[in-house]
Amino acid sequence: MNIDGRAFRTIWLADDGASVKIIDQTRLPHLFEIVSLRSLDEAAHAIRAMLVRGAPLIGATAAYGVALAMREDASDAGIENACQVLNATRPTAVNLRWALNDMRACLQYIPQDMRVGTAYVRAAEICDEDVAINSAIGDHGFELICAAHEDIPDDRPVNILTHCNAGWLATVDWGTALAPIYKAHDAGIPVHVWADETRPRNQGAALTAWELGKHGVSHAVIADNAGGHLMQHGMVDMCITGTDRTAASGDVANKIGTYLKALAARDNDIPFYIGLPSPTIDWTLSDGVQDIPIEERDQDEVTHISGKTRDGQIVSVQLTPDGSSAGNYAFDVTPARLVTGLITERGVCPASRAGLAGLFPELA
């Protein structure tokens, strides 16, 4: 997508053909900084510290992390070590495991001296595939937005609520939840996005608002607790969020707070859709609520908040009393029964094993 008229992806190979460039998302929206990853450890750090985040981008970064690792040690042990180090960075987004399994399968049976080149080629393919998948999700979700628009009598914008950031910053390009919105906007369908701020790390306030603004999409940031009120007053036509791991049963893990939005949407008869790339499906799990591992992060993300002061300084301040502890559960699981449909690259399906198997019979 474009930043001030210049096309960007979130991750790309540097001109030296070895290091990998990323946008440091911990600095947005106030600073735009590009960082180079030169080693396995730097790639692992970028995922763990959330310079890159969002399930598909975590997978893409892990793939390049393996390529960087092959430059350091292309032995069988080197492959295993890279996969272990990267797999330990974040537990919930299953794209990480998916990408590492893919890289391992691609590298383990080829001669050692071919592993560096092959790893870079495969990592680049994983990135390109992610872009194509998300563009297709955009096309299918676009149909849903068009249908909603036709049902609106006075040509007012289609009001879409989203949670966290499942836009192009969370993927290699396009995004998942936001891809249909970009496609609708680009086609001249009026859309307005309610972006949940998404405490504690504020991916909605910082990242979703930033990327929608850069693309010229109408939006407003709302406090996390505002969605239910807007839904009760006819101010939300549909919800679309992303997912970090969707069980084969259709239960959807996404950023903490997604479940509450799905409950409010159900109570108000508002469709609740998920943008779901197939690498985010965990075919091994049948009960997402019980079985999807939920990341718990540092208390500081809850007790502190960072932002820009009126004189332009970026600072972090403490919100809570000295000595109060905090719980920081990063994700929750929305049961399949609350999900209207899964928008995948192959079309929209019910949130169920049968629905997913109908679209992906070769994976089910």
- Residues marked active site are found at 244
- Residue-wise burial string across 306-321, b where 16 or more C-beta atoms lie within 10 A, e elsewhere: eeeeeeeeeeeeeeee
Beta carbon of residue 245, minimum distance to ligand MRU (angstroms, whole number): 9
CA distances from 308 to 25, 316, 317 (A): 15, 9, 11
The binding site for ligand MRU (CB under 6 A) comprises: 53-56, 93, 164, 166, 170-171, 175-176, 203, 241-244, 254-255, 330
Which residue, 63 or 79, is less far from ligand MRU as judged by CB?
Answer: 63
Angle at 72 between CA 71 and CA 78, to 5 degrees: 105
Question: Residue 124: exposed, middle, or buried by beta-carbon count in 10 A (0-12, 13-18, 19+)?
Answer: middle
Beta carbon of residue 163, minimum distance to ligand MRU (angstroms, whole number): 7
Beta carbon of residue 154, minimum distance to ligand MRU (angstroms, whole number): 31
Which residue, 120 or 244, is less far from ligand MRU as judged by CB?
Answer: 244
**Cα 34 to the center of its chain, rounded Å:** 19
User: Tokens for 117?
Assistant: 């080149």
Which residue, 166 or 189, is less far from ligand MRU as judged by CB?
Answer: 166
- Shortest-Cβ-distance residue relative to ligand MRU: 242
Which residue, 112 or 303, is less far from ligand MRU as judged by CB?
Answer: 303
Which residue, 69 or 330, is less far from ligand MRU as judged by CB?
Answer: 330
Beta carbon of residue 247, minimum distance to ligand MRU (angstroms, whole number): 15
Quick one: the chain helix, strand, coil %, rounded to 5?
A: 45, 20, 40
HSE of 124, CA atoms in CB hemisphere, 13 A? 13
Residue 229: CB atoms within 10 Å:
13
With contact defined as beta carbons under 8 Å apart, do 169 and 215 qualify? Answer: no
Beta carbon of residue 25, minimum distance to ligand MRU (angstroms, whole number): 8
Which residues make Cβ contacts (< 8 Å) with residue 300, sequence separation at least 6? none
